[in-house]
A = this chain, B = another copy of it.
Amino acid sequence: MNNRGELYGIGVGPGDPELLTIKAFKLLKNSDVIIAPKSSPKKSSLALDVVKRAFIEWGASLPKVDNITFPMTTVQNKKKINKEIEDKILNNLNHGLNLSFITLGDPFLYSTYRRLTSKIAEYKNIKVKHIPGIYSFSAISARLGKELTWGNDRLAIIPVEKNKNYLQELKNFETVVFLKVTSDLHGLINQLKEAKRLQDAILVEKVGMEDEKIYYELDKLDNINYLSTIIVFKNQTMSR
């Protein structure tokens, strides 16, 4: 009888293939199949693009790749996703294969990886290793050469929602990272103005990718890509 394979949940970081960890790279090389999530069958997997570039750069040969498509969740889609997880992950593990499920950034910070873990939790005795990845906002602070926090500074990470008020957080936290900013870009920028923190804010689109862009004048923004983050850095003159 075969031994069951291992499942690796791997964060590949924000886009730069060299920001993979040594552990992630080793486990990917040790995988029989790399499972890459996609939001639609027509799109390419951004996480897979990063992994492919890392393997080219380090002269290693890429294992077999398979995809799982995670469209917006409806009841019907959920059944389809669970069927894909069973076919492509659970069955393969039972056949002794080692599988890597890759995800942009980190598997435990706003990641599709949850769709998988909530399903495989139903199965007993699956060996899983979770490998953390560099967050996009860490890469942005390094890219800009600006510290996120120092001393007793506090940091808030907030996914933007339409028509929400963030004035309290902009007052109480030295540094605020806003994700999914295209959900309400103009609403957010108006609040940054009201909180007098617009001058502390920088937007970075697709950090570490080939078409990365940095914007300093946020009130002149237009047509921003979904993979954008606004960091409101510590205002040296603020007091709380």
Contacts and interface: CB of A to CB of B under 8 A. Distances in A.
A22 B138 CA distance: 16
A110 B149 contact: yes
Contacts of A154: 156-159
Number of identical monomers bound together in the oligomeric complex: 2
A224 interface: no
Nearest to A180: B152
Interface in A139-171: 139, 141-143, 145-159, 161, 168-169
A54 B22 CA distance: 9
Contacts of A150: 110-111, 114
A138 B149 contact: no
A18 B21 contact: yes
Interface residues of A, number: 55
B130 A142 contact: yes
Contact of A21 (B134, B135, B148, B169): B134
B108 A138 contact: yes
A13 B111 CA distance: 21
Contact of A18 (B23, B114, B141, B159): B23
Interface of A: 11, 13, 16-23, 25-26, 54, 58, 106-111, 113-114, 117, 128, 130-135, 138-139, 141-143, 145-159, 161, 168-169, 172-173
Given A106-B142, A109-B155, A155-B157, 16 more contacts: A18-B23, A18-B26, A19-B21, A19-B132, A20-B21, A22-B22, A106-B138, A107-B147, A108-B138, A108-B146, A108-B147, A111-B147, A135-B135, A154-B158, A154-B159, A155-B156
